[in-house]
A and B are shown apart, each in its own frame.
Chain A
Amino acid sequence: MSVIGVVSMKGGVGKTSTIANLAASLGAKLGAGRVFTVDLDPQNGLHWHFGLFDQAESGVCEQSLQGSNWRDSFLESDFNVACLPYGNVAESDREAFECLLGDSGHWLGEQLSDAGLTDDTVVLIDSPPGPSVYLKQVFACADLILVVLLADAGSYATIPDMETWREDFAAIRPGLKVFYVLNQVDRSEALNRDTTAFLHRQLKPHLCPIDIHTSEAVAEALAFQQPVLSYEPNGLASHDFSRLITWVMSTLKK
């Protein structure tokens, strides 16, 4: 089992779209039963990308409070990706769940190992923006972490905080791989183009060599509740996600 976490210090950088589309690309390559996604973001938005909108009342939050096994909780989608939503929960349940996560540092790894997934499966985990108990769980358990950034000043300003996390965990978990990835890169806007080039220079050993370009198809695909790979299979975004997941999988094996 390989575990990939997707994180960011700032909201709205496209974490959830990225994880959904990477998972769908991987599902298309590996076939059914190999790709799993877990939504650890109270925003509960991941399942929308897989057309599971009416099935996500219950999820990881409620079921963890009840002590259920994750194996029985994953929802199957039409895209060779199984999804465990966060769930639509009351504030009191969210708070109780966050206390549980705060008290048990390796909870995520334990749940995954209890679920008994086979060695050839890949699990992708979504997280809310910024420092949180969820982010800690992802850092404590993942084999590889993708930090999603936009090529703008707002994202740039968050890099020092992210570097602190990366360095702190590099000391505890030397095998953990952490890579930044640039999303919504827009070659037609001068500032975006310059910032992209600057970030490639500055972050080089820690930056994925493949950027995700801005594409209206990503937003449209979500409106139709499907991954962009199914909405526009031959578009730029599908191409980017497919190349990126290939790079991520080969980097995991190194």
Chain B
Amino acid sequence: MHIIAFISGKGGVGKTTLAANVAVALSQRKKKVLLIDLDPQNAQRLHLGMDPEEIAGLVREGITPTSVFNSPFSVSFIPFGRASEPELEEFEAQLKLNPEWLASGIRSLSDEAFDYVVLDTPPGPSVYLRQALAAANRALVVLLADAASFATIDKISSLVETYTADRTDFEGMSMLINQMRSNSKLGHQVRSALYANYGTQLVPATIHRDARVAQALAFERPVLQYEPGCKASLDIQYVADWLLASTNS
């Protein structure tokens, strides 16, 4: 079982979209994939066509074989779930007391049950990021090729270092550029600066900006299913191949 956390220093960079689609791409490669939504925004279910009124999920059920939903896109899925403010506060207090809650929950699943576990997290420092980094074998930092994302890299890198310092089975973090506009001069300049500063830490693929990604969400399905041949879908497939190749080596 290999655990991949999708993280970011800044919100709205497309973490949830990429986590869902990479999970789908891995399952298309005959891998058994579990996707866990660790973001109180509880938005992952929209990408996977799940009932928005469903209250079950991580907060109420935790991680057990019975809390796993089968999504229509052959990815197993634990949503965050709907929670009231007091429930959320209590859940976060519990996570704070036990930083290994998620890691031990995943360990309690049978080792053969899943080949990959994909974790979606809220942006920036949080109890959820800490939980994800206590469990993950690797972290994918999602970035946009703009100054706002660039400015958050040092902070998220230091958070990853802080929270994985004692982990011998953590293989490191990689950065993935999302929503790259081919016609944006600033985008190309920022991408060049990213390669110059962080070269080997960048995933050797860029996800291009594609209006079909927003359309797919409006139809409550992954873009890989909505428009398998579009630019963003092909980019995501490339990232999935890269993930498999770099996990096996």
**A223→B186 contact, CB < 8 A:** yes
The answer to whether A48 and B41 have CB atoms under 8 Å apart is no
Q: Tell me, yes or no, whether A130 is within 8 Å of chain B by CB.
A: yes
Please tell me if the beta carbons of B148 and A222 are within 8 angstroms of each other in the complex: yes
Cα–Cα, bound, A10→B123 (Å): 10
State which residues 188-202 of A face B: CB under 8 Å: 189, 191-192, 195
Assembly CA distance A48 to B122 (angstroms): 22
**When chains A and B are docked, how far (Å) is the Cα of A12 from the Cα of B122?**
11
Give the chain A neighbours of B10 by CB distance below 8 A.
11-12, 43, 45
Known: A45-B152, A91-B162, A216-B184. A128 touches B41 (CB 8 A): no
Does A174 touch B at the CB level, under 8 Å?
Answer: no
Kindly list chain B residues whose C-beta atoms are within 8 Å of the C-beta of A219. 146-148, 184, 186
Q: How far is the CB of A47 from chain B (nearest CB, A)?
A: 10
Q: Which residue of A lies closest to B162 (CB)?
A: A91
Residue of A nearest to B212 (CB): A191
Would A153 and B214 count as touching, CB distance under 8 A? yes
Distance in angstroms from B196 CB to nearest chain A CB is 15
Q: Tell me how many residues of A have a C-beta within 8 Å of chain B.
A: 34
Check B152–A43 contact: CB distance below 8 A. Answer: yes
Query: What 1/0 mask marks residues of chain A from 144 to 184 whose CB sits below 8 Å from any chain B CB?
Result: 00000000111001100000000000000000000000000
Query: Are A91 and B125 neighbours in the complex by a CB distance under 8 Å?
Result: yes
Chain B residue with the shortest CB-CB distance to A9 = B41
- Chain B residues with CB under 8 Å of A152's CB are 214, 217-218
Q: Are A153 and B122 neighbours in the complex by a CB distance under 8 Å?
A: no
> A52-94 toward B: CB 8 Å interface, digit per residue (1/0)?
0000000000000000000000000000000000001001001
Decide if A153 touches B146 in the complex (CB within 8 Å).
no
Given A130-B40, A152-B214, A153-B46: A10 and B151 interface contact (C-beta under 8 Å)? no
Query: How far does the Cβ of B241 sit from chain A's closest Cβ, in whole Å?
Result: 27
A129 at interface by CB-CB < 8 Å: yes
Q: Is residue A51 within 8 Å, beta carbon to beta carbon, of the partner chain?
A: no
Let me know if A220 and B125 touch, CB within 8 A. no
- The yes or no answer to B43 lying at the interface (CB within 8 A) is yes
**A13 at interface by CB-CB < 8 Å:** yes
In the assembled complex, how far is the CB of residue B186 from the closest CB belonging to chain A, in whole angstroms? Answer: 5
Contact indicator B123/A129 (Cβ below 8 Å): yes
Q: Are A223 and B124 in contact (CB under 8 A)?
A: no
By a CB distance below 8 angstroms, the chain A residues around B199 are none
Residue of B nearest to A223 (CB): B147
Q: Which residues of A contact B85 (CB under 8 A)?
A: 131
Is B57 in contact with chain A by the CB < 8 A criterion? no
Interchain Cβ contacts under 8 Å between A and B, 25 examples: A9-B41, A11-B10, A11-B12, A11-B123, A12-B10, A12-B11, A12-B12, A13-B11, A13-B12, A16-B148, A17-B148, A42-B125, A43-B10, A45-B10, A48-B147, A131-B88, A153-B220, A157-B43, A189-B211, A191-B211, A191-B215, A192-B214, A216-B184, A216-B186, A223-B189
Contact with A along B34-47 (1 / 0, CB 8 A): 00000011010010
Known: A42-B125, A91-B162, A223-B146. 19 other contacts (CB 8 A): A10-B41, A11-B122, A12-B13, A42-B124, A43-B123, A44-B155, A129-B11, A131-B40, A152-B218, A153-B214, A154-B46, A154-B214, A154-B217, A158-B43, A195-B218, A216-B184, A219-B184, A219-B186, A223-B186
Partner of A154, one of B43, B52, B147, B155: B43
CA distance A153 to B215 in the complex (A): 8
The listed residue (A10, A94, A153, A192) touching B125 by CB distance below 8 A is: A94
Closest to A158 in B: B41
The CA-CA distance from A44 to B158 in the complex, in Å, is 15
B159: chain A residues within 8 A (beta carbon): 91
Question: What CA separation (Å) do A44 and B148 show in the bound complex?
Answer: 11
B217 contact set on A, CB distance < 8 A: 152-154
Q: Among residues 124 to 158 in chain B, which have CB atoms less than 8 Å away from a CB atom of chain A?
A: 124-125, 146-148, 151-152, 155
A11 touches B146 (CB 8 A): no
- 106-153 of chain A: CB within 8 A of chain B: 128-131, 152-153
Name the residue of chain A whose CB is nearest to the CB of B211: A189
Interface residue B194 (Cβ < 8 Å from any Cβ of A) = no
A189 to B213, CA, bound (A): 12
Cβ proximity bits B1-21 to A, threshold 8 Å, 1 near / 0 not: 000000001111100100000
When distances are taken between beta carbons in the complex, the residues of chain B under 8 Å from A17 are 148
Most buried by B among A9, A11, A220: A11
Considering the chains assembled together, what is the distance between the CA atoms of A43 and B12 in angstroms? 13
